[in-house]
Chains A and B, each alone.
Chain A
Amino acid sequence: MSTEQSTTAVATGDGAPPPTRQRVRESHARGWSGHGAGFLAKLAIMALVNALGVLALWSAYLNGSWVIFGVLLALLVVADWVYFSKRPVPLKYLLPGLAFLVVFQLFTIGYTGYVALTNYGTGHNGSQQQAVDALLSQNEKKVPDSATYPLTIVEQDGELGFAIVEDGTAMVGTADDPLSEAGDATITDGRVTGVPGWEVVPKNDVLSDPALADEVLALRVPISDDAADGSIRTGDATIGSVYRSVLEYDGSAGTLTNTDTGVVYHATDEGQFVADDGTALPVGWRVFVGFENFTKAFTDDTYSGPLLRITVWTFVFAFFSVFVSFFVGLLLALVYNDPRVRGRKVLRTLFILPYAFPAFLSALLWKGMLSANPDYGIVNKLFFFGARIEWLDDPTLAKVSLILVNLWLSYPYWFLVCTGALQSLPDDVQEAARIDGAGVWRKFRSITMPLLLVSTAPLLIASFAFNFNNFTLIYMLTGGGPRFTDTSATLGHTDILISMVYQISGVAGGRADYGLAAALSIVIFVIIGVISALMFRRTRQLEEVS
C-alpha cells in the first residue's frame, strides 16, 4: 500500500542534501583511463539497461499502454543523458534512487489519489462503453424453451450467414434475410454440410481468424420477419439458440431503452443508467466524483462515528506499542549490558527469539493461546487457574492483548538496538559525570538517555509509522473484533485505520468501494507524513543539543 512507502518518501525528502564535492581526479568510469575497466563496465551496464528498456518499451507499445510507454521512454532518455554526459555528476549517484522513487512510490501515491477521486468499486468497474456492452450482452437473453440448433457458418458473396437444422429441415439466413428453408442442402449427422449457392465456412477457419470470429459472434440471424421473435446467435460456431434483446442502445442520446416496457435509462454523471422513476441498471462505470469520497468518510454516519474512534485507537495502539516495547527493551538492555551479569551472550540470544519468528505466525499462535475457554487457551489455563477470561472478545481486554502481544513481538528489536547503542556510548562522559558526583538515575537521565535517543529516535518514529499501519497483527490476532454493537458498519473495537481501509475496500469479498478506501489511505498518508515530518524536526534539534 502506498501509505507505508510514503513514510520513507517523506524521510528522504527531509534528509540533508547530499554533498556535491568537486572531484580532483576524473572518475575512471567517465573516460578511457588505465586499462579502461571502469568505462567498459559502465558501457556494459548501460547497454543492459538500454536493452531491457527497449524490451519494456516494445511490450508497452504492443499492449497500447501509452502512459507506461511515455514514462519508460523519459526514464531511458534521462538515464542515457546522465551517464554519457559530463555535466550532471550528482545525478549519476542519485538517478537509480530517483527512478525507483518515481516508479514505485510517486506513481502509487498518484494513482491512489486518482482512485480516491473516482467512484471505483463494485458496480463501477470499467468504462462506459464496457458497461453498455455488458448490459447489452446480459440482456440479450435466450428465449425460454428455445431449442439448440446444430449450426454451420455459410458465406455468399462475402456475406456471412447461419445454416441450421430444425426438425430435419435445413434453414439458411443472414443478418438481413430471416431464416428460410434451404431445400437442397445436404445434412450429415444432423448438421448442414453443404447448401447450393453458399460456401460452407469450416469451423476451424472461423476459430483461426480473429476478424472472422468477431463477425460470427456479432452475427444475429432473425428467425422471422418480426424482430420481436428474436434471432439466432452462436457463441462457439457449432450451436445456435434463439436470443432476444430487451435493451436497445442509442449512442447519440446516451440512452438505453427497454423494448418490452418502453422505459428509457439515461446515462448520469454518477456513472449509471437511471430511469425517470429512479431505477438503475446494475452495471455502471467509473466517473470522477471529486472529493465526494472524502466528505463521505467524514459525514456518512456509517463511517464517521467509527472513523473517529478508530483513529483515536490507532494512535493509542501505535504509541503504546512503540513506547512500552521500547522501554522494556531498554530496561533489559541496561540490565544485560552490565558486565556483572553472567552468561550474557546466551541470554541475549534467547531474547532475540521472538523477533526471529514471523509476526503473522506468532499472532496466530497467540490467538490460540488467548482463547477464552481454558481447555484450548493455555494462558487462561496456566496463569489464571482455568478462569474464563475473554481476552479477545472483550473490547478493553482485546486492546490490552494487542498491545501485550505486540510488546512480546517487538521488545527484542529494541533490546537489540539499545544494546548496540549503549555499547557505543563514550565512557569518558559517564566517568566525568561520576566524578562530578552524579547518581545512577541522574547519569541515566542526563547523559545516557539523551545520547541514546540521538541514535534511536529515528527508529522510534519509523516504528511508530510501522505500527500505525500494522495490519498483519490486527488481522491475525483479533480481525478487528469484537465488533461495534452500536453501528451498522462492519468494524470493530480493535480495527485500526489500515484494517478499516481493508474492510471497506471489499477485497475480502464484500461489496468493494475502492474510491472510499483510497480516500482513507490518503488521509492515513497525510497523518503519517505530518507526524513524521514534525518528529524528524524534533530529532534534528536533539542532535544539535548533543
Chain B
Amino acid sequence: MRTTLFRAAAVAAAVTLLAACGDGGSETPPASQEPTTAETTEAAGGATGSLTIWVDENRKPAVQAAVDIYNETNPDVTVELVQKNFEDIRADFLAQVPTGKGPDITIGAHDWLGALIADGVVEPLDLGEKVDEFETVATQAFTYDGQMYGLPYALETVAVVRNTALVDSTPDTWDDMIAMGKEAGTKYPFVINTNGTTGDAYTYYGLQTSFGAPVFVQNDDGSYTTDIGMGGDEGFAFADFLAENGMKGEGNFSTDWTYDVANEEFGKGNAPYTIAGPWAIQTYKDAGIDVAVDPIPSAGGETAAPFVGVQGFYLSSQSQNKLVANDFLVNYVATPDVIKALYDADPRLPAMTSVADEVAADPIVAGFLAASKNGAPMPSIPEMGDVWEYWNAAEASIISGSSSAKDAWTKMLADLDAKLG
C-alpha cells in the first residue's frame, strides 16, 4: 500500500507538527505518576520475565515512556525495545513470527490486520470493559470477524485545510467551496495531492464516499465485506465527478500535483483550500501560513467520510510471554496516563476518548478529530492490498483525461473482479 508507506514517511513531519500545535509540549512524560490500574493494590514484587517490542524510530520515546511506567511496578520484567524502520515492520513480522524469532509485541497500522490474520501471526486481545474508553472507529478498526486483535492508541485522517488569510470558512458542499475558492482570486481554487500520475485514492476518498460509493460494502457494525462498493451508479457518478473536475474539465484536480507540489502551491498561497493530513501542517506553518482544519465538504450529497488510519500494538501469536504481554497492554498501556504519555512523546490524535478530549484544546487537533468522527476505518481485509493499485491508476487516468471516466472505472471494476475472484 503506497499510501500507508508514504504516510509513514511523513511521520517525521507529523511529529514536529503536532508537537508544535500541542499545548506547549512542555510536559515531560509522567514517569512519576502512579498508574491508575487495579494492579496498584498488588504492586509489590511484580512480574518477572522479558518482553520484546518492535517500534519505529519516531515512536520509540513514546513506547519507552510507557515501559518506564510499567517498570515502576514490574521492575523485574526486562522490556527490550527493538527499533525498526516502520516500512519493514510488517514484512519482518510476517516473516519472523512463524520462525519463533519475532517480537512479543509490535507497533503497527490497523490495515495490516487482514494479512496478519491470514498468515496467523497475531493473537486476539481482550480489552474487557476498557473497549468503551476508546473511540468507536479505533476499536472497530482493530476488530476483525468479531474479534479484537490489537490495542489502538492513535488515529490519523485527512481533512480540508484552509488558508485563513484567504477564506474565512469551509462551506458544506463541494460546489460552494470551489466557488469560494474562485472568489479568493488565487491561481487555483483548490489543490490536492494526486501523487502524480500514480493516483492517490486515499486522499480523494472523502469525496468518493460523499457519493455513497465506499471501496468495500460495509456491514451494519462497520466491518467490511469483500464486495466492492464502488460499482453501480454511485461509483460511476464519482468517476464522472473526477472527469468534470479533472485536467480536461474544470482543472480542480491535476496529475501534475504530487505531495510536494500540492504542499508548495498551498504554502505559496496559490490555493485557499487543500485536503491533507496532520503530517502536512508543519510544512504550511513553515511556509508562514495560518491554517484552520474543517471536515471535507460533500460533493455527492452524502457525508464525506475520509479513511481513518489507526495505529496500535499487535500481540504475536507465537509469543512465549503472552500473559505478560497482555498484562502490559491491557493493564498499563490502555490507561489514560500512558496514552497521554504516548501523545506527548509522539503527538498523533489519541484513540482514547478522554485523552482526545483533553488534547482537543488545540483547534487544529480538534479539526482533525472532528474529521475523524465523520470518517470510516480503512478496510483491513487482505483484499484491500489488491485494490490500491487499480484504484489509484483508474482515478489518475480519469483525472488526466487519458481515458474516459466510464472506460477507466469499468476496467478497474473488471480487474478487481478478476483479482478478488
Contact = CB atoms under 8 A, between A and B. Distances in A.
Interface in B63-77: 74, 76-77
Contacts of B329: 236
B353 interface: no
Contacts of A144: 146
A185 interface: no
Contact of B126 (A241, A371, A393): A241
Contacts of B98: 125-127, 130
A510 B119 contact: no
A518 B330 CA distance: 40
A208 B49 contact: yes
Interface in A224-266: 234-239, 241
A513 to B, nearest CB: 12
A514 B400 CA distance: 34
B382 A204 contact: no
Indicate the member of A213, A241, A507 with the most B CB atoms within 10 Å.
A213
A32 interface: no
A373 B256 CA distance: 6
B42 A490 contact: no
A213 B321 contact: yes
Nearest to B90: A509
B123 A237 contact: no
Interface stretch (B1-9, B163-171, B301-309): B1-9
Interface in A14-71: 63
A434 interface: no
Given A393-B197, A510-B389, A236 B120 contact: no
B5 A509 contact: yes
Nearest to B88: A507
Nearest to B124: A137
Interface residues of A, number: 62
A123 B120 CA distance: 8
A177 B74 CA distance: 33
Contacts of A392: 197
Nearest to A373: B256
Interface string A121-150: 011011100110111011011101000101
B389 A141 contact: no
A274 interface: no
Interface in A367-395: 368, 371-373, 375-376, 392-393
Contacts, number: 173
A335 interface: no
Given A122-B118, A213-B323, A507-B91, A191 B145 contact: no
Given A213-B321, A236-B323, A134 B419 contact: no
Nearest to A150: B38
A475 to B, nearest CB: 12
B244 interface: no
A207 B51 CA distance: 12
B197 A217 contact: no
A520 interface: no
Between A126, A235, A239, A510, the greatest number of chain B beta carbons within 10 A of the residue's beta carbon is seen for: A235
A488 B415 contact: yes
B34 interface: no
A141 B49 contact: no
Contact of B120 (A133, A189, A238): A133
Among A137, A138, A481, the one with the most B-chain Cβ atoms within 10 Å of its Cβ is A138
Interface in A102-128: 122-123, 125-127
Contacts of A126: 97-98, 119-121
Contacts of B4: 509
Contacts of B217: none
19 contacts: A133-B317, A134-B120, A137-B124, A138-B117, A138-B124, A138-B147, A141-B146, A144-B146, A203-B47, A207-B77, A207-B327, A237-B327, A238-B330, A239-B330, A282-B118, A393-B402, A482-B197, A508-B2, A509-B2
The 8 closest A-B pairs by CB, nearest first: A134-B120, A126-B98, A207-B47, A148-B128, A125-B119, A373-B256, A236-B326, A509-B1
Given A134-B121, A203-B42, A509-B4, 17 more contacts: A125-B119, A126-B120, A126-B121, A133-B317, A137-B317, A138-B145, A238-B39, A238-B327, A283-B119, A371-B196, A392-B197, A483-B393, A488-B418, A509-B388, A510-B385, A510-B388, A511-B385
Interface of B: 1-2, 4-5, 38-39, 41-42, 45-49, 74, 76-77, 90-91, 94, 97-98, 101, 115, 117-121, 123-126, 128-129, 145-147, 196-198, 254-256, 260-261, 317-318, 320-324, 326-327, 329-331, 382, 385-386, 388-390, 393, 400, 402-403, 411, 414-415, 418-419
